[in-house]
Homo-oligomer: A and B are copies of this chain.
Amino acid sequence: VFIQHMLEYAGANYENAEYDEVADLKSCAIPDQPVPCMAPPILHDVPNDCTLSQMPAIVVYLAGELGLAAGDAYLNYQALKVILDCNDVLSDITNANGSRMWTHDHWQVFRSNRLPRWLEIFEETGRRHGLSASSGFLLGTESASHADIAVAALFGTMARCLPALEKDIQSNAPALYGLCHRIEQCEGIRAAIKRQEAETGSTYCGGQIEQSIRKMLALDEAPGQV
C-alpha cells in the first residue's frame, strides 16, 4: 500500500503482479530471482530495467524517480526515518507480520501505550515542521513528499479499514489525521481506494492476523462478549 499510494499519487503507470507470480518469486532459488530477496514487495522498473526489494528502499527509489523526494538532503534522511517508523508500526499492529496471534493483554498494551506513543511521534514530527490539521506537510515541504504519502498509506488505511481505531488516530494526532485525509483526496489514490473496496471490501492486512486484530477490537468494545 505504501508503494501503490506513491504510484497513484504521482499518476504513474504500473501493474500489480499476479498472486502466483509473486509466490513463485518468493520461493524460487535465489539465483533465479531478479533481485535476491526473502520476500515481497519487489519493484520492477520496466523502463529502467531494474528491480529492487524492501519497501523502504523502493519508496526512496520511487521518491527520486517520481519527483516526490523532500528536496533537501537532511529532510530526505528524516523522510527515510519516518518511513522506517511506518514500517515498524505496521509490524507492531500485525504482531511481526502475523507471526503470532494477539492476546488481549498484549493488544491492550499496544492500543493504550505503544499506538498512542507512535501517533505522538508522528504528530510531534509534523508539529516541529508547522503541520496543522488543515494545512502543511509532515516535514514542512511545499508539496507532499514520500513521508506524507507513507503516513497516509499507514494511518489512512488503518482508519478506513479498522474504523474503531479512527478515533485513536484523530484524538492522539489531529494534525496527522488531517494530513492523511488531504493526501487521500488525491484523485489517483481515491480511485485506487474505491477499486480496492470493490474487490476486497474493508480488508486490512488479510489472513489470520486480521481476524485476530478484529477480535481484539471487538473485545475492546464489549469485554467478555467475544
Residues A81 and B53 in contact in the complex (CB < 8 Å), given A37-B121, A38-B117, A99-B96: yes
Residue A192 is within 8 A (CB to CB) of chain B in the complex: no
What are the residues of chain B within 8 A of A30 when measuring CB–CB? 117, 120-121, 124
Residue A64 is within 8 A (CB to CB) of chain B in the complex: yes
Q: Fill in one digit per residue for A85-102: 1 if any B CB lies within 8 Å of its CB, else 0.
A: 100100100001001100
Instruction: Tell me the count of chain A residues lying within 8 A, CB to CB, of chain B.
Output: 39
Residue A60 is within 8 A (CB to CB) of chain B in the complex: yes
Residues A73 and B64 in contact in the complex (CB < 8 Å), given A121-B30, A121-B36: yes
Asked if A77 and B61 make an inter-chain contact with CB atoms under 8 angstroms apart, the answer reads yes
Report the bound CA distance from A118 to B85 in whole Å: 23
Asked if B38 and A57 make an inter-chain contact with CB atoms under 8 angstroms apart, the answer reads no
Q: Fill in one digit per residue for A112-123: 1 if any B CB lies within 8 Å of its CB, else 0.
A: 001001101110
Q: Chain A interface (Cβ within 8 Å of chain B)?
A: 30-31, 33, 35-38, 50, 52-54, 56-57, 60-61, 64, 73-74, 77-78, 80-81, 84-85, 88, 91, 96, 99-100, 114, 117-118, 120-122, 124-125, 127-128
